[in-house]
Amino acid sequence: MSDAKTRLPLPPLMDRISFLTHRLNALMARACNPYFQVWGVDLIMSRMMVVLLEHGSLPAGEIVRIMALPQSTISHQIKRLEKLGYIQREQGKDDSRVRVASLTDRGREVAEEANLLSRQVVGVLLDSIGEDDMETVRAALKRADTALQAFRFKQD
């Protein structure tokens, strides 16, 4: 890790990228919660269904990788989505020990609605950031994602 002393001073919390991404996520959840309540899901579950919509059937481990959440969180959410009738789990075709999740017909409908809602949110972000800066912001966030995946906190 680079020496923290050589970096710029730490800005106030409200100006830190980590806090701003938290606020954006919280604001997106608040804007979308009325839709989620109708569907009986939350932001994480809606995103998981869109992942399955885009990728097709996936084992839980792959959903964990994509979502960057703990296995226990993903397992719990998969069980909730299955109970709601939005996904089903079956044995994997290549390995019968692996169970893969896939959308049911109703799950596909909800995932498509969630994807349309996401398109509206992206539209708001695009309008506020501007087309010229959107790719720069997206590339910077992807670099941050890669860096945080590799980052390991010091163990005391």
Q: Is residue 15 part of a domain?
A: no
Residues spanned by the domain of 71 = 32-126
Q: Judge whether 91 lies within some domain.
A: yes
Query: Does residue 17 form part of some domain?
Result: no
Do the Cβ atoms of 95 and 61 come closer than 8 Å? Answer: no
Residue 115: per-residue pLDDT: 97
Instruction: Please report the pLDDT score of residue 124 as a whole number.
Output: 95
Per-residue pLDDT of the chain (156 residues; tens, 9 = 90+): 555 556 788 999 999 999 999 999 999 999 999 999 999 999 999 999 999 999 999 999 999 999 999 999 999 999 999 999 999 999 877 777 788 999 999 999 999 999 999 999 999 999 999 998 999 999 999 999 999 988 876 554
Instruction: Report if residue 110 sits inside a domain.
Output: yes
Query: Per residue in 14-51, is it b (16+ CB within 10 Å) or e — as a string?
Result: eeeeeeeeeeeeeebeeebeeebeebebbbbbbbbbbb
* Residue 76, Cβ density class (10 Å: 0-12 exposed, 13-18 middle, ≥19 buried): middle
Please name the helix (run of DSSP H) or strand (run of DSSP E) that holds residue 103, with its range, or none: strand 99-103
Instruction: Residue 58: name the closest of 40, 78, 72, 76 by CA.
Output: 78
In a domain, 78, yes or no: yes
CATH number at residue 51: 1.10.10.10
- Structural domains of the chain, count: 1
